[in-house]
Structure 1
């Protein structure tokens, strides 16, 4: 299952050269992950009230081609691996079917204190 999330590049997303500033791709994929989790029916606020949060542990990123002001992009998110406490996603930012940015993102479930990883709730693992 691939989740699709549209993004338009605004002036504030660009650098002096008029292309998307590299760190903003991380913002784009974060928004897409949040939207994907919401589309699965997972209430992150309720999880936080239970003392659990998702934390990005690792990002491996490849910048393949630039995006520019006013481009219409799409972030595609797919599950690569699921373990008891870890979730690995592949996220690709595309423009017109061309890959511009690709990331492998590892997310872990943590206690609010951040002291150690926690098991993903069984109902969430089942959704994935």
Structure 2
């Protein structure tokens, strides 16, 4: 399963040199994951009402090339692993086909007390085609 999320770099995303500040890539991939979850029909507000939220457990990131003010970027999210307790996604941020940033993100769910819980059934039981 692959999801594409287009975005544009705004002035506020950049440093004095007009280069995207490194932490903003994490925001970009978070937006893309949220958009993907919404697109597959998971209601995060309903999850929260049940006392369950998604949390990033681990992230591995590589900053390969800089993005600059006014660039048009694509964030591609690919689900690489789905277990009852976690999702692992590969995410890239590209400009004109050139990968600028790459990350592997592990997502888990936590309950009201901050303890890990199983992913919601509607996600675990979805007929998802997982890329390897």
TM-score by length of 1: 0.96
Distance 2:84 2:123 in 1: 10
How far apart are 1:121 and its partner, in Å? 1.9
Paired residues of 2:42 and 2:122 also in contact (CA < 8 A): no
How far apart are 1:112 and its partner, in Å? 2.5
| 1:23 partner SS | helix
After the TM superposition, which parts of structure 1 deviate over 6 Å for at least 4 consecutive aligned residues? none
| 2:117 partner SS | coil
Paired residues of 2:62 and 2:102 also in contact (CA < 8 A): yes
Aligned position for 1:89: 89
Task: Name the stretch that deviates more: 28-37 or 81-90.
Answer: 81-90
> How many positions carry a matched residue from both structures?
127
Distance 1:68 1:78 in 2: 24
Tell me, which stretches of 5 or more residues in structure 2 are unaligned? Answer: none
| 1:60 partner SS | strand
Aligned position for 1:55: 55
Distance 1:112 1:124 in 2: 19
Aligned position for 2:125: 126
Q: How does 1:63-78 map to 2 (within 5 A)?
A: 63-78=63-78
| 2:5 partner SS | strand
Aligned position for 2:14: 14
1:112 aligns with 2:112: yes
